[in-house]
Amino acid sequence: MNDKLSRRDLIRAGAAAGLTAAMPKGAFGEGPAVVTPKGGKRVVISSANGNHFKNGGDVTCVQKAFTMITQGSDVLDALIAGVNLVELDPTDDSVGYGGLPNAEGVVQLDSCCMHGPKRRAGGVAALEGVRTPSLVAKAVMENTDHHLLVGKGAQDFARGMGFKIEDDLNTEHSRQLWLEWKRRTDPSHYLDPKDRAEVGLRAAMQMAREGLIDPEHLWGTINCDGVNAKGEICGVITTSGLSWKIPGRVGDSPILGAGLYVDGAVGAAGSTGRGEANLYNLSSFLIVEAMRRGAHPKDAGMEALKRVVANTVEKRLLNDRHQPNFGLNFYVLNARGEFAGVSMYPAKFAVCDESGPRTLPTEALFEGKPE
């Protein structure tokens, strides 16, 4: 009898397997979805500035976040505490206080966070006067039924939640760099919008080549993702956006699926670099969906980079090698604790796990530099 039952069970299992194999392919035509098993090692990854700036203290962003996770803190709380160090550090001119301002000299900040277990997210864009936009994004997630608040509405919300609103988030350093950029471009001399935009970018790139600003910080951002031993995964991203941008310009960072995307059952992906290229392809969502189908974080990230390359067709965005003339980096982590940093051109990323914090080279799609 037991043998018969076993054979019957085997037949049923075989039929179920055949049914699964006959199911329609997934949305990307890659076969049935494969969800990554949860539970693995604790890991925090970030853009390279997450293992550099300390805001006058002894630990970096990835160190602080990893320590808090090992001590049992909620993963998102730990990640935000980590990026707060970078937002508050005046020597990082790509994030938070002292971030390079827009074309009018005003610092406007964007941020987004996603909580995998809670399946919730919050974001702010073009926020002025608050040094830690990541905390305001978290407040949006926790206190409203919305994801994204922008501009004056985001500032009014922050004020109502008790955040200090400052008149100016420039440091002397960021202000002097803006004045130098203004000196080189003076928009009143370039009345045609196309010419003005091209001259502004050309001046910014020249300042980067002269060492006045870090080329990575021209589109500076910090993305930080982490997972605990239970496989609970979260992510946060925060930025001052494109240096000397058109006032009100919002890039990919606060947009779900572009600058950041988290699926609590699968993994997380975030980005730094040219926001528009990322937005046009919703690359972070694409990466997480590739991991859902079983791709390793590195392979998932490379798939997104190749998609960006295929969709970059404007001549102004291509170098003389017919490759994108901009940088774009992805930081990818699955729920098992496997991770990767991938990039259009060679770059760095940060990680902290049981082996401690370190800065590693990314896997690059192309050699050399964008230009």
**Which residues have a catalytic role annotated?**
221
Helical segments of the chain, H only: 2-22, 61-70, 75-88, 133-143, 151-160, 172-185, 193-209, 275-279, 283-292, 297-311
- Helices 283-292, 297-311: axis angle to 10 degrees equals 140
Cβ neighbors of 4 (< 8 A, separation 6 or more) are: none
Q: Are strands 363-364 and 339-343 parallel, antiparallel or unpaired?
A: parallel
Cα–Cα dist 53/48, whole Å: 9
CB burial string 55-66: b at 16+ within 10 A, e below: beeebbbbbbbb
Neighbours of 106 (CB within 10 A): 15
Cα–Cα dist 169/12, whole Å: 65
Contact 335, 40 (CB under 8 A): yes
What is the enclosing helix (H) or strand (E) of 150? strand 148-150
Cβ neighbors of 191 (< 8 A, separation 6 or more) are: none
- Token couple for 157: 């919300």
Hey, what amino acid is at 195?
Answer: D
Question: In degrees rounded to 5, what are phi and psi of residue 48?
Answer: -60, -30
* Residue 150: alpha-carbon gap to chain centroid: 18
Nearest by Cα to 288 from 253, 255, 331: 331
Cα–Cα dist 80/312, whole Å: 33
* Residue 236: alpha-carbon gap to chain centroid: 7
